[in-house]
């Protein structure tokens, strides 16, 4: 169901972009760039009524699919990608390191301990 809604959402978003670009602008219209004016293509009333209704329908479907996808993703993500690691007071201190035996090398990422002087 989630995949189906996602596909519908993407198709509607692309359709909405197309319909908005075809609408009549203040200067020239995008529909005329594809050959002919929108008045002959959409009837004597022009494209404002027809494209306006298409824009409203596409925007409504886009909004509904957005809300459904958001609702579905918030319910399905019960687990997080980042595990909850409790922070304790011991985490800031280094763990005790066993002394090295004679001839043994320390690992490269071993913490350096400075002996305490009194």
pLDDT tens figures, 82-107: 666 655 544 455 566 667 777 777 77
Phi-psi region of 89 (alpha: psi -120 to 50; beta: other; left: phi over 0): alpha
Q: Quick check: is 112 in a domain? A: no
Whether pLDDT at 1 is above 60:
yes
For residue 38, what pLDDT is reported? Answer: 47
What ranges make up the beta strands (E) of 35-98?
none
Rounded Cα distance, 66 and 70, in Å: 6
For residue 13, what pLDDT is reported? Answer: 96
Whether pLDDT at 39 is above 50:
no
pLDDT confidence of 7, banded at 50, 70, 90?
very high
3-state helix, strand, coil in the chain (%, to 5): 55, 0, 45
Count of domains observed in the chain: 1
Q: Quick check: is 103 in a domain? A: no
Whether pLDDT at 78 is above 90:
no
Rounded Cα distance, 111 and 15, in Å: 59
pTM as predicted? 0.49
Q: What is the DSSP letter of 27?
A: S
Q: Quick check: is 51 in a domain? A: yes
Rounded Cα distance, 86 and 79, in Å: 16
Q: Quick check: is 64 in a domain? A: yes
Q: Quick check: is 14 in a domain? A: no
Q: CB count, 10 Å around CB of 64?
A: 14
Per the model's pLDDT, the better-predicted residue between 23 and 93 turns out to be: 23
Q: Quick check: is 117 in a domain? A: no
- 4: tokens are 């189906």
Least confident among 32-36, 51-55, 60-64: 32-36
Least confident among 4-18, 67-81, 97-111: 97-111
Q: CB count, 10 Å around CB of 109?
A: 5
């Amino acid at each position: 169901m989630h995949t189906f809604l996602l596909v519908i959402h993407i198709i509607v978003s692309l359709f909405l972009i197309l319909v908005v670009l075809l609408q009549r602008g203040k200067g020239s219209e995008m529909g005329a760039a594809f050959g002919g004016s929108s008045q002959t293509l959409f009837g004597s009333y022009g494209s404002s009524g027809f494209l306006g209704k298409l824009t409203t329908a596409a925007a409504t479907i886009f909004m509904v699919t957005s809300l459904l996808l958001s609702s579905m993703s918030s319910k399905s993500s019960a687990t997080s990608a980042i595990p909850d690691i409790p922070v304790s007071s011991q985490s800031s201190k280094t763990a005790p390191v066993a002394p090295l035996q004679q001839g043994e090398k320390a690992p490269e990422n071993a913490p350096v301990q400075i002996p305490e002087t009194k």
